[in-house]
Copies of this chain bind each other. A is one copy, B any other.
Amino acid sequence: MAEIAPKILAFDVFGTVVDWHGSIAAEVAQLFPEVDGDAFALAWREGYKPAMARVMSGELGWTRIDDLHRMILDDILPRFGLGALPENERRALNRVWHRLNAWPDSVEGLTRLKRRHTICTLSNGNIGLLTDMAKHAGLPWDCVLSAEVFRAYKPDPRTYLGVADVFDVAPAEVMLVAAHQDDLAAARQCGLLTAYIERPHEFGAARPKDVSPDPANTLHARDFIDLAEQLGL
């Protein structure tokens, strides 16, 4: 394992570093005891890929995730009996994505990985969202990179190749770390190394996810501490 020494570790964030489902379900359940927080979190996230597809197809101009999250929120509120929620409460609720909680191993794992590698985000989340989240959750990024910098969402090759370009390294000197095989496959197509992270409860404890290894990945790790150990840190 010691021979695998990427210079840059680029991390997917939602689901890989932070527990979006658990954080949103808990906040919604606290704010609105009558609402099913679990279903609410899933519905909000389900709108995410279709919304990005509208941007990438050109139907919408460049739009930040903050604004996509808000469009989806406005769309789902009536389904949960919250269609009358006032503007200021919608704005505040939309900011829940800025204060998602990290998985228990994230801060320790990132801190170890940072000792030798440059650790950055590579998320479709916007810069302001990712920066607020890092302050909230104590994530020690060396650099916050986002779809917003490259004006393209993953899995567009401009995002993966953009990381290599920003740091003036070859694609094979960058490793994408993610809990999603489709993200990793797209990065691999661009020549990046890939590390899959098991996050079996990304969609909630009641809905365990398939976390089987794909031999196409460079590494397969249980969590960030396991990844640090596999990289000799």
A binding-site residues for B, Cβ under 8 Å: 66, 118, 120, 126-128, 130-132, 134-135, 142-145, 148-149, 166-168
* Docked CA distance A142–B144 (Å): 8
Cβ contacts under 8 Å, A131 to chain B: 118, 120, 142-143, 167
B128 touches A135 (CB 8 A): no
Copy number in this complex?
2
Q: List 10 A-B contacts (CB under 8 A).
A: A118-B132, A118-B135, A120-B131, A126-B166, A127-B149, A128-B166, A131-B143, A131-B167, A134-B143, A142-B144
Closest 3 CB pairs of A and B: A131-B143, A128-B167, A143-B144
Report A114 CB to chain B, min CB distance, Å.
Answer: 8
Main secondary structure of the interface of A (DSSP, over half): helix
Given contacts A118-B132, A127-B149, A148-B166, 19 further A-B contacts (CB under 8 A): A66-B168, A118-B135, A120-B131, A126-B166, A127-B143, A127-B166, A128-B166, A128-B167, A128-B168, A130-B143, A131-B142, A131-B143, A131-B167, A134-B142, A134-B143, A135-B142, A143-B144, A144-B144, A149-B149
Report A158 CB to chain B, min CB distance, Å.
Answer: 14
Cβ contacts under 8 Å, A143 to chain B: 127, 130-131, 134, 144
